[in-house]
Amino acid sequence: IADGSIGGEIEEADFIKKMNASLPKDGIKVISAVYTDKKMPEIVKARYEIEFENKTPFLAQKIGDAIKGGNITVMKKSKRQEKEVNLAEHIFGYELRQIDEKRFVLDITISAGGKFNVKPQLLAEGLKGVCDGFDPILTLPCRKKFIFENEEE
């Protein structure tokens, strides 16, 4: 916290008071804090629930077949380069739920964080390339959880 000191600990109660003083009154409120000198674990995965609505009737199981097929190749752009990647290698689990003939939900755990990050929109692009008839008019991603290194899902 920027309290004028360089380094060192700040008491948890002081931290909470200073944080709450700087936050919007009707927004978030800090209710507890714990000091640690441990390194922040790195985010390695994220769990999303993504709702898709397709232009035409679509069987969600085609998505499952594509993931099991193990080849969902896309061009991934970064600040410095563009390279071809197989997104299937970055999928750690999924579940499909058909809502109606055009809509379904994909609950998926994919790579996230600083080393390799898969955005839901990139995943949709990759699936569109390998699933015949998949042409979503609506993609609503909702991140459910970050998963840190050495953490079990």
pLDDT band at 35 (very low <50, low <70, confident <90, very high): confident
pLDDT at 1: 44
Higher pLDDT, 26 or 89: 89
Whether the per-residue pLDDT at 104 is higher than 70: the answer is yes
Q: What is the pLDDT of residue 8?
A: 63
How far apart CA 137 and CA 5 sit, in angstroms, is 52
Tell me what pLDDT residue 2 has.
46
Residue 38 is predicted with a pLDDT of 65
Quick check: pTM over 0.75?
no
Q: Cα separation of 29 and 38, whole Å?
A: 24
Q: What percentage of residues in the chain have a pLDDT greater than 70?
A: 92
Measuring CA to CA, how many Å separate 98 from each of 31, 50, 57, 65, 139? 40, 12, 11, 14, 14
